[in-house]
Amino acid sequence: MRIAQVAPLFERVPPVAYGGTERVVAYLTDALVELGHDVTLFATGDAQTQAKLVPAAQRSLRLDQACTDQMAPQVLQLELVSQVAHRFDVIHFHTGFLHLPLARHLAAPSVTTMHGRLDSPELVPLMREFTDAPFVSISNHQRRPFPGARWCRTVYHGLPPQLLPFKSRPGGYVAFVGRISPEKRVDRAIAIAGRAGLELRVAAKIDAVDREYFTREIEPLMRQPHVRYLGEIGDHEKSALIGGARALLFPIDWPEPFGMVVIEALSCGTPVLAWPCGSVPELIEPGVNGWIVNSIDEAVEALARVTAIDRAACRASFERRFTADRMARDYVGVYQRLRESSRGGFEARTA
């Protein structure tokens, strides 16, 4: 199939450091190429991809200090897609909502993957106007605010299987990976590890908005001897850190639409101990690849049982459900159905 992938322009594809959406687009695009499809990636000029690249800006906007107007390249990107839409069997947008009014007029069917949470009130009148726009959710939970939208499918994110290799023998510590922010609850991770008598290694970035929270609430907790703060780390260190952990702690307190680090852990064979928020119940199979807990007490208890979990079974759950190849095949199924039911825009409302 001739497939267009339309990425956000904020981070590189794949991102240099953080950046969830652009990372997924990178893995998906390369996996589609490997399946033999003819893929064109609309992204920034610094993207690294096996697909044909159509840049709408030279460099990712977050890295480009000279860029004073971030909207202009995004508008340009939409126009570039629009001009060649007829050359594609399907156009896959990852650009939020920006393209929706235009997508209705395009000369090819399109689908949009929602990458963020959908519970903000501004989306209600918008989604009311786009009941015919085909969407893909990244977890079933993510759909809850809009059960009546035209959901084609949930497609869970996937990773290249060699990215975070399986590690059969972990070290004696547990890990926390993410942002330091109130909804990520690193404070819970610190408490759990402390009560379990285990070292906690924390790899996390601190956004400017969370700096005060870090200083006031988290930094004092971090001074405890069982906590080791590593700052923000790259892909290679992440693999070593997560692979070496006895368990990943994922004590989130918000409806995270997809927990990327959960499947990163499973790729290493590392079981995950998580609170049942957002996508978690869809990713964790209790006793097979981790445990779902509702309190510090339950978490400490589960951690005592975590060695009962077979790390090879964790990796197997990853290979079965969370590889980039599986993600790409799921999307190809979505594309094929769209192609059968529509020649452009959102015209085929029966799909």
Span from 20-28, 69-77, 202-210, 296-304 in contact with a copy of itself (CB under 8 A): 69-77
Q: Are 116 and 256 in contact (CB under 8 A)?
A: no
Can residue 57 be called a binding residue for a copy of itself (CB under 8 A)? yes
Shortest reach from residue 59's CB to a copy of itself, in Å: 12
Q: Are 174 and 246 in contact (CB under 8 A)?
A: yes
Contact residues for 335 (Cβ-Cβ < 8 A; gap 6+): 1, 3, 89, 90, 92, 111
Q: Phi and psi (nearest 5°) for 286? A: -55, 130
Judged by CB under 8 A, the number of residues near a copy of itself is: 33
Q: Rounded distance, CA 93 to CA 112, Å?
A: 5
Contact residues for 298 (Cβ-Cβ < 8 A; gap 6+): none
For a copy of itself, the closer of residues 56 and 292 by Cβ is 56
For a copy of itself, the closer of residues 122 and 212 by Cβ is 122
Shortest reach from residue 154's CB to a copy of itself, in Å: 22
For a copy of itself, the closer of residues 101 and 165 by Cβ is 101
Q: Are 351 and 110 in contact (CB under 8 A)?
A: no
Can residue 206 be called a binding residue for a copy of itself (CB under 8 A)? no
Contact residues for 226 (Cβ-Cβ < 8 A; gap 6+): 190, 193, 194, 197, 198, 199, 200
β-pairing verdict for 38-43 and 248-250: unpaired
Shortest reach from residue 318's CB to a copy of itself, in Å: 33
Can residue 68 be called a binding residue for a copy of itself (CB under 8 A)? yes
For a copy of itself, the closer of residues 120 and 168 by Cβ is 120
From start to end of 193-283, where are the E strands? 199-205, 227-231, 248-250, 272-274
For a copy of itself, the closer of residues 97 and 173 by Cβ is 97
Can residue 71 be called a binding residue for a copy of itself (CB under 8 A)? yes
For a copy of itself, the closer of residues 16 and 126 by Cβ is 126
Nearest Cα neighbor of 347 from 135, 104, 136, 148 is 104
Q: Which of 69, 148, 162, 208 binds a copy of itself (CB under 8 A)?
A: 69
Q: Are 56 and 76 in contact (CB under 8 A)?
A: yes
Q: Which of 1, 67, 163, 240 binds a copy of itself (CB under 8 A)?
A: 67
CA 341 centroid distance within chain: 28
Can residue 105 be called a binding residue for a copy of itself (CB under 8 A)? yes
Q: Rounded distance, CA 325 to CA 33, Å?
A: 10
Shortest reach from residue 145's CB to a copy of itself, in Å: 13
For a copy of itself, the closer of residues 98 and 230 by Cβ is 98
Q: Are 259 and 278 in contact (CB under 8 A)?
A: yes
Tokens describing residue 210 = 């969370």
Can residue 172 be called a binding residue for a copy of itself (CB under 8 A)? no
x/- track of binding to a copy of itself for residues 2-21 (CB under 8 A):
--------------------
Site residues (CB under 8 A) for a copy of itself, limited to 117-136: 120-123, 125-126, 129-130
Site residues (CB under 8 A) for a copy of itself, limited to 73-102: 73, 75-76, 78-80, 82-83, 96-98, 100-102
Tokens describing residue 288 = 């097979």
x/- track of binding to a copy of itself for residues 267-306 (CB under 8 A):
----------------------------------------
| Contacting residues toward a copy of itself, per CB under 8 A | 56-57, 66-73, 75-76, 78-80, 82-83, 96-98, 100-102, 104-105, 120-123, 125-126, 129-130
